[in-house]
Amino acid sequence: MARKWGQQLKQLIVKKADLPEDVIMDLPRITMIGQLHIYIENHRGLLAFTDREVRLMLKHGQLLIKGSAFVIKTILPEEIMLEGQVEQVLFINE
């Protein structure tokens, strides 16, 4: 119940303060350029990386990116840019 109130309060703040939801609600921001590049901001760390799969920790759950020929172009503590053929982007609630 407290978590629900917390989410509702954050949504109210977003609406009233005119701030981006991803910043206030601690959500990942995902930017894709076609199927060739994917840029993820606001993640909590790299859990797994292969040329076919990338798994990132989020505040709530994980993000799984599937495809082929993945190469990490940029990696920072809360940002990552991948190049390759992106086929799927999945949220995993755990």
For residue 14, the model assigns a pLDDT of 61
For residue 66, the model assigns a pLDDT of 98
Quote helix, strand, coil % in the chain, to nearest 5: 20, 50, 25
Per the domain annotation, does 13 fall within a domain?
A: no
Q: Which domain covers residue 50, as residue numbers?
A: 27-92
Contact status, residue 39 vs residue 54, Cβ threshold 8 Å: no
Give the confidence band of 94 by pLDDT, cuts at 50, 70, 90.
Answer: confident
For position 57, which CATH number holds? 2.60.40.2000
pLDDT tens digits, 29-81 = 999 999 999 999 999 999 999 999 999 999 889 999 999 999 999 999 999 99
> How many structural domains compose the chain?
1
Q: Token digits for 41?
A: 């901001």
Per the domain annotation, does 38 fall within a domain?
A: yes
Burial degree of 57 (CB within 10 A; 0-12, 13-18, 19+): middle
Per the domain annotation, does 16 fall within a domain?
A: no
Q: Look at residue 21 and tell me whether its pLDDT is greater than 70.
A: no
Per the domain annotation, does 44 fall within a domain?
A: yes
Per the domain annotation, does 8 fall within a domain?
A: no
Among 92, 91, 94, 88, which Cα is nearest to 38's? 88
Residue 53 or 22, more confident = 53
Q: Token digits for 89?
A: 């982007």
Give the confidence band of 28 by pLDDT, cuts at 50, 70, 90.
Answer: very high
